């Protein structure tokens, strides 16, 4: 059973990353946004792997509607209230 992602915020979250692997929460249910904590189980939505090759600031999508997951692509500007 596939569900729609939960919108966590209508703006991206800037995170200072170090080189390594990160798992972005695609379902919006994690209590550790923007990263996965396993809350997606049973939703049909899977986290997205992000690999940082160097330290820096990354803008992670919080609306969960980006076409460039896990990075913000401005999709939050087009969201309409349900």
Q: Residue ranges per domain, the chain?
A: 13-76
The whole-number pLDDT of residue 21 equals 98
Contact predicate 79/7, CB 8 Å: yes
Q: What's the gap between Cα 77 and its chain centre?
A: 16
The whole-number pLDDT of residue 2 equals 62
pLDDT tens over the chain, length 82 residues: 468 999 999 999 999 999 999 999 999 999 999 999 999 999 999 999 999 999 999 999 999 999 999 999 999 999 875 5
Q: What contacts 36, CB < 8 A, 6 or more positions away?
A: 23, 24, 25, 26, 30, 47
Beta strands 56-60 and 20-24: pairing type? unpaired
The whole-number pLDDT of residue 41 equals 95
The whole-number pLDDT of residue 80 equals 75
């Amino acid at each position: 059973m596939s569900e729609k992602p939960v919108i966590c915020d209508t703006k991206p979250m800037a995170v200072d990353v170090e080189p390594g692997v990160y798992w972005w929460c695609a379902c919006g249910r994690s209590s550790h946004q923007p990263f996965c904590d396993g809350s997606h189980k049973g939703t049909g939505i899977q986290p997205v792997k992000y690999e940082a090759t160097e330290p820096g600031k990354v803008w992670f999508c919080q609306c969960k509607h980006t076409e460039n997951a896990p990075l913000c692509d401005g999709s939050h500007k087009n969201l309409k209230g349900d």
